[in-house]
Chains A and B, each alone.
Chain A
Amino acid sequence: MASHGVVLLNSWVSMFGMRVMIALKEKGVEYEYREENLTDKSQLLLEMNPIHKKIPVLIHNGKPVCESLIIVQYIDEVWNEKYPLLPSDPYQRAQARFWADYVDQKLYGALRKVLFTKGEEQEEAKEFVDVLKVLEGALGEMPYFGGEKFGYVDIALVTFYCWFYAYETLGGLNIEAECPKLIAWAKRCMERESVSKSLADPHKVYDFAVGLRKKFGVD
């Protein structure tokens, strides 16, 4: 079988699932993609991730790996002959893990607030921008997080880029004006095929977000 026993359970709009897609593409791993309907989860998903029942799930030779950053590390460790995603030096690795953890801890929560409040809520928008500014500071003058090579933190963060249009429109933000270096970095990442082919279309993401807000009675 062409996919060599690698299956990804995902939802097209999930920035977490996109991380896994980028990692697999960077490594040149062929896999079978299965779109999950999150309002009607498949038996396979419930079996492979019984604890959280969430996507993404990577199934490799029948064994599941859950949680996007854990999956990306798994991919890096299994397909380790080329294109390392994490640095080799333990201190650099710790920095990479720290910043990826920061994205998960701070960015996602701030984004959800922007998404699920009315556009006039300035507090939520400010919190979100503050988090982006910290990340921009961590990037510094380097082309990618951690240095010259595209890697783990870039993968952890860049998948949010396709959601920026939705956040800007719904939150009344101009992210490029606030964080020009970060946007420049995101565009640089988008020049990589692994990224441009994995990120969803921002306009489709926007439509999805609008639908979600209606569903939860925000609009």
Chain B
Amino acid sequence: MATGEEVKVLGYWSSPYALRVKWALKLKAVEFDYMEEDLTNKSALLLQLNPVHKKIPVLLHNGKPVAESLVIMEYVDETWKQNPLLPQHPHQRAIARFWAKFVDEKEGEEQEKAAKEAREHLKTLESGLEEGKPFFGGESIGFVDIAAAWIGVWGEITGEIVGIKLVDEEAMPLLTACFQAVLQTPLLKECLPPRAELLEHSKRFRQKLMAAAAAST
């Protein structure tokens, strides 16, 4: 890393999108300062750096902000060239971008989404993995793995709350194995939020959503 490089990440402890950014930087061995945002009381800094969406994560590199987790991941990949996240070949890059977008569209954090539908999308995601290759990135963790493996944790928690197994080893063996392999990697595992707290947070979030839904009917 060049001397005088300043890398900051504005995030939230339970956000899988912030997790993606931490993972990307860790895999590249880029040192960064992490700043936890209070999403109920957003900082002036966040509102200044991401005035359009007012959301985390935001990457701040030498004072310049980048927002949107997948955009940040591409920026990180292009700025720090070691351990490339995206493949070299344009067609493979297109496939990686396709699956990352699929995860965003279909597996977004909205817990009001029917768990059964989410399960079906995970089975589709499984089809992006090749038998014999542990990761979407092939032999090593890549762009889609970073974009998707949070589902291994968050999906399990949602499944526990709603009583449906989302990441099902029988129905999606390759995906289950891939997520586990990513989540067990020490460098990445240490970024995960504590499971018990995440479970409580998810339960409260879900209650709020259901209350809001009931109030609007």
Contacts and interface: CB of A to CB of B under 8 A. Distances in A.
Interface of A: 51, 60, 63, 65-67, 70-71, 73-74, 77-78, 90-91, 93-94, 97-98, 101-102, 134
A97 B101 CA distance: 13
Interface string B39-72: 0000000000000100000000100101110111
A93 B98 CA distance: 18
A70 B91 CA distance: 10
B74 A93 contact: yes
19 contacts: A51-B124, A63-B91, A65-B91, A67-B98, A70-B94, A70-B97, A70-B98, A73-B94, A73-B97, A74-B90, A77-B93, A91-B61, A91-B64, A91-B75, A94-B72, A97-B74, A98-B52, A98-B68, A102-B52
Contact of A66 (B52, B75, B98): B98
A74 B52 contact: no
A67 B68 CA distance: 18
B71 A98 contact: yes
Nearest to B125: A51
Contacts of B124: 51
Contact of A101 (B68, B75, B91, B93): B68
B17 to A, nearest CB: 13
A159 B64 CA distance: 30
A102 B53 CA distance: 9
Contacts of B101: 67, 70
A131 B192 CA distance: 35
B75 A65 contact: no
Nearest to A91: B64
Given A71-B94, A77-B90, A98-B67, A93 B75 contact: yes
Contacts of B98: 65-67, 70
Given A63-B91, A74-B90, A101-B68, A94 B74 contact: yes
Closest 5 CB pairs of A and B: A90-B78, A77-B90, A94-B75, A97-B71, A74-B94
A160 B66 CA distance: 26
A71 B101 CA distance: 13
A102 B74 CA distance: 16
Contact of A94 (B66, B90, B91, B94): B66
Interface in B77-91: 78-79, 90-91
Nearest to A77: B90
B32 interface: no
A54 to B, nearest CB: 12
A97 B70 CA distance: 9
A94 B71 contact: yes
B102 A51 contact: yes
